[in-house]
Amino acid sequence: LPQRYRREGEGEYRYESSDGRFVRTLKVNRSGFVVSYPGLWQQEATWRSGAADGPLHGRPPERSVGRNRHGG
């Protein structure tokens, strides 16, 4: 699918399909990840950046599903 992206400003990129029929302005965060895609989805939450409390340096801790702390 041919497509074009053009930077519109700080944190904004214009997406356009090759025929120009589909156009959206995407918003990205400081890392370049899309956080808003109008008409399709919107980021709802983020993990606090800079929270280096654990071994994953700012990432949320992994959770074991279906187990308690005693392994049951």
Higher pLDDT, 1 or 13: 13
Q: Which is nearest to 51 in space by CA: 63, 61, 42, 66? A: 61
Round to whole Å and give the CA distance between 47 and 50. Answer: 9
**What gap in Å lies between CA 61 and CA 70, rounded to an integer?**
18
How many whole angstroms separate alpha carbon 58 and alpha carbon 64? 19
> For residue 64, what pLDDT is reported?
45
Position 47 scores a pLDDT of 72
The pTM (predicted TM-score) of the whole model is: 0.58
Residue 48: other Cβ atoms inside 10 A: 9
Q: What is the pLDDT of residues 31-64, one digit of tens each?
A: 999 999 999 999 888 776 544 443 444 445 455 4
